[in-house]
Amino acid sequence: MSKGLLDLASMLDEAVQVIRPVGSYLLSQKVSQDMVETKSLNSLVSHVDKTAEAQLVKGLELVFPEAGFLAEEGTGQAAEGVRYRWVVDPLDGTTNLIHGLPVFCVSVALVDGNEPILAVVYDPNREECFTAFKGGGTCLNGVPVSCSGRSALSESLIATGFPHWDFSRMGPYLEALTAFAGGTRGLRRMGSAAIDLAYVACGRFDLFFEYSLQPWDIAAGLLLVQEAGGVTCGFNGVLDAQTLLSGKETFAAAPGIAEQGLSVIGQAFA
């Protein structure tokens, strides 16, 4: 089956029908500290993550049975050797949920090799469903959206994620943070990379950067930004699909400020 034969629009509609109830499930759950496991430094998981992922995998298997899975908690058929993969984060923003902050979402992408071709980021707290498929544009609750038209970094709002387990590049990160703090309208840290990227796609944020993420954090958000007319690449400005999907370096911006933003990043991380 080739990408050209996939009915991505119909698959997207079916995927949304799977994902929305999972978001409702997340809202219904109360998670206490004694229900949380620590996978690694500042990487938390609860029964909510695992149950939500199982629900997603069960539903998405029906949408596209031939696809494998790359899911944060390891549910579903392994993706090795499979052309198409569902890249699933059942709860992006676990730490926020645990601490009672209403900023979390379900993030799902279908990738062809290393190229996202379908994306859903669903924020149940705000009832906002961001969707995209390759060549079909980006929508918020069914209404087309696009990246901001700003052309001056000084007029932009920047999103980032603070390093929380890999502190090997803290020096360059803080240098970039300082430059953006002094040269923009402000910085925000939501605690969910998928939401950050969705907000770049709809023009709420003008630029997002972070390092040492995982594919399930960003796969859906990257396509949302791309289909909304934005720029996605590594910190060196190079668009290499495999490296970008790895999450090692994530840069996404409105087209009018991408070059200015990359200049700041490049100087800091040179």
DSSP letter string, 162-184: --SS--TTHHHHHHHHHHHHHHS
pLDDT at res. 30: 76
The tally of CA atoms less than 13 A away on the side-chain side of residue 109 is 27
48 and 174 within one domain:
no
The residue range of the domain holding 40 is 3-144
Percentage of residues of the chain with pLDDT beyond 70: 91
72 and 43 within one domain:
yes
* Residue 146, phi-psi category: left (phi > 0), alpha (psi -120 to 50), beta (remainder): beta
165 and 247 within one domain:
yes
Rounded CA separation 96/6 (Å): 36
pLDDT: is 5 or 237 the higher one?
A: 237
The count of structural domains within the chain is 2
86 and 217 within one domain:
no
Rounded CA separation 116/80 (Å): 16
Kindly state the tokens that stand for 81.
């050797």
116-175 confidence digits (pLDDT tens): 999 999 999 999 999 999 999 999 999 999 999 999 999 999 999 999 889 999 999 999
Least confident of 25-39, 155-169, 221-235: 25-39
* pLDDT at residue 29 tops 90: no
One-letter amino acid for residue 11 of the chain: M
Q: Can you list the alpha helix ranges (DSSP code H) found in 149-257?
A: 170-183, 193-201, 215-227, 241-246
Among 88, 122, 144, the domain-final residue is 144
pLDDT: is 164 or 259 the higher one?
A: 259
* pLDDT at residue 40 tops 60: no
pLDDT at res. 35: 60
**Rg, Å, the chain Cα set:** 17
Distances (CA, A) of 117 to 19, 90, 234: 17, 19, 19
pLDDT at res. 2: 44
pLDDT at res. 104: 96
41 and 167 within one domain:
no
> Length of the chain, please?
270
Among 144, 171, 199, the domain-final residue is 144
Segment 198-216 shows an average pLDDT of 98
pLDDT at res. 39: 54
166 and 107 within one domain:
no
Q: What is the mean pLDDT of the chain?
A: 92
* pLDDT at residue 14 tops 50: yes
Least confident of 51-55, 139-143, 175-179, 191-195: 51-55
Segment 180-206 shows an average pLDDT of 98
Question: Using an 8 Å Cβ cutoff, are 11 and 119 in contact?
Answer: no
* pLDDT at residue 199 tops 50: yes
Question: Using an 8 Å Cβ cutoff, are 80 and 39 in contact?
Answer: no
pLDDT at res. 179: 98
170 and 126 within one domain:
no
Pairing of strands 105-112, 115-123: antiparallel
CATH value at residue 162:
3.40.190.80
Q: Which helix (H) or strand (E) holds 143?
A: strand 143-145
> Structure pTM?
0.93
Segment 7-24 shows an average pLDDT of 98
